[in-house]
Every structure is written in structure tokens, then in C-alpha cells.
Chains A and B, each alone.
Chain A
Amino acid sequence: MKLRDVKEILDADVIVGDEKLDTEVTTAFGADLMSDVLSFAKAGCLLLTGLTNTQVVRIANVLDMAAIILVRGKKPPAETISMAKSLQIPILTTKYILFETAGRLYAKGIVGCLEKVDTGSEQT
């Protein structure tokens, strides 16, 4: 689906990236722990998170993620918005909680960027 559809499904407001709503998305990752986002999120996926600091934008950039979806009605601070603008990373905000956000997207065909983690500990 397109980011435009994500906006509709989540009744979200677009904070940054009105011009990128035609971006195609198929996968998502949700977490508030940035170390886990770094570890598990993949290129092209949506990042569902409740954190609004600039680290979220930098990590989305480093991993080439499609867009940031802020859950629980979070509004990002000005420095996060200006960084997202300069790096051209869309930010949407939805009032749905993380669980509802993920469930509503999943019901419409968005899947996790991975299903389960491979911790590697079993192999050693």
C-alpha cells in the first residue's frame, strides 16, 4: 500500500513529508528501544514508535526506513521535525496505541519486517 493509505488507516496527521505519500510500503517494525530498532528494522519499513527525539530520525536515515509513525498521539519536538525535513523522512502521528497501530496495519496487509528474531545464542 501507499503511505497515503497508512495515513487513512491510522487516521494520522502528516507532520513531515506530504510530498512522499505515494511511497510504497509493505513492512513495519515497532519498538521504543532504539538499540532494537537498529538491530531489527530493515530498509523500506515503517517505524512505529513512541519516541520522538532526533535519534529516531537518524536511525531511520541510517537504515533507509520509509517513514516514522509516532503512536499514542506523540508530537515531535522542533529539532526532530527540522531534521526529518532535511533528511526527507516522513513523520506521521496517530492517536492509536502501538498495539492498535500494528494490528490495524497488519489487518490491511502490512507485515513485520521480520517475524521472529534470530538471537544467535542457540547456535553457539
Chain B
Amino acid sequence: MIPAVNKPENTLNKYSFDIEGGNFNAAGTVSMRIKAILKEKGLPGDVVRKSAIVSYEAEINIVSYARKGFIHLTVTPENVEIEAADEGPGIPNIEQAMEQGYSTASQEIREMGFGAGMGLHNINFYSDKFDISSEVNKGTSLRMIINATQLTKDI
């Protein structure tokens, strides 16, 4: 973790967004905001794209399963860090939840085009570093890091 310092550019590069569980009408708006912020900062297209993918899937998960949650975005010269945490049912078996195709999604989630058991798998795949912790009946917390210095081929 980067220690908190009282530099204005540091505070300017931290953003916090609240997410309401069950509000499918708003699902995706936080990720749209995150993408716009990263694009405005002039980050490479590939970094913006990966960040948008992991943030979107995390946001959909919070809306779909949790009572409420938040996404914190931190942008440093080295990387984009996205932390997504919720108060919700938690995940009893993380290994199983990470498997492609495993899902407990409701019909409502599937009708939106999600809930096919790809969310956590994709988050893991597109993050350069991914941590997940969860406690049943408490909530789930994800931390995704997208490397912003190692320039991969732009899309």
C-alpha cells in the first residue's frame, strides 16, 4: 500500500463511489465514471479497458448480490487500483465461485446479460494482481491492480 501523504495530487487521484444493492437501473454507472476519469487522465487504452472490465463486473456483482457496497479507485503513476467491497451474503466457496460457468445468479441478472459465471473469472484474468476475501453473511472484498507502466499493446 502507498502511504497517505498530504500532497494535493494524491488526494486528487483517489475516488470513492457508493453502490446500492438491487438497483439494476443504475448498474454500470460507476464503471462508466471510472472509465471517463481514467481516459481523461490520458492512461493507455489497454489500461483503461482492463480497468473498466474489472470494475464493471465488480459493480454488477455488488448490485446483484449485496445490500450495499462501494468502489474505491486509486490512480498512481505505477498502477490503477480498484477496491470493491460489499455488505452482503458473502461467498462460501471462493474457489468454486472463481470457476468459469459457476453462478448463483437470479433470472433478473441473467436477463441483463450477466450471471453466466464469468464475472470473477474475468476480473482475475484482466487484473495484473487480484485479491479476494469473503465472509459468509458479512460481505465480500475485492482488490484489483492494473499495471499502468508496463505498456502492453494498445487496442
Within 8 A of B (CB), among A33-83: 33-39, 42-43, 51, 53-56, 58-59, 61-63, 79
- Taking CB as reference atom, which chain B residue is nearest A120? B125
CB <8 Å contact, A62 and B28: yes
User: Is A32 part of the contact surface with B, judged by Cβ < 8 Å?
Assistant: yes
- Verify if B114 is at the interface (C-beta below 8 Å from A): yes
Whether A39 contacts B53 in the complex (CB less than 8 A), given A58-B29, A58-B32, A120-B125, comes out as yes
Given contacts A33-B118, A43-B49, 7 further A-B pairs with CB under 8 A are: A35-B122, A36-B118, A38-B57, A42-B49, A56-B113, A62-B32, A63-B49
Q: How far is the CB of B125 from chain A (nearest CB, A)?
A: 6
A53 x B111 contact (CB < 8 A) = yes
Do B32 and A51 touch across chains, with their CB atoms under 8 A apart? no
Chain A residues closer than 8 Å to B122, beta-carbon distance:
35, 38-39
A54 CA / B53 CA spacing, docked (Å): 17
A33 / chain B contacts, CB cutoff of 8 Å:
113-114, 116, 118
Q: Judging by beta carbons under 8 Å apart, are A35 and B119 in contact? A: yes
**CB within 8 A of B113: which of A42, A55, A61?**
A55
- Contact residues in B for A59 (Cβ distance below 8 Å): 28, 56
- Taking CB as reference atom, which chain A residue is nearest B31? A62
How many whole Å from A120's CB to the nearest CB in chain B? 6
Instruction: Kindly state the separation between the CA atoms of A43 and B39 in the bound complex, as whole angstroms.
Output: 12
Q: Which of B99-139 contact A (CB under 8 A)?
A: 111-114, 116, 118-119, 122, 125-126
- The verdict on B143 contacting chain A, using a C-beta distance below 8 Å, is no
The residue in chain A whose Cβ has the minimal distance to the Cβ of B33 is A62
Query: B118, A35: Cβ atoms under 8 Å?
Result: yes
Within the complex, the shortest CB–CB distance from A65 to chain B, in Å, comes to 11
Q: Which residue of A lies closest to B113 (CB)?
A: A34
CA distance A12 to B119 in the complex (A): 33
A selection of 27 A-B contacts at a CB cut-off of 8 Å is A33-B113, A33-B116, A33-B118, A34-B112, A35-B57, A35-B113, A35-B122, A36-B116, A36-B118, A38-B52, A38-B53, A38-B122, A39-B53, A39-B125, A39-B126, A42-B49, A54-B25, A54-B28, A55-B27, A56-B113, A58-B29, A58-B31, A58-B32, A61-B32, A62-B31, A62-B52, A63-B52
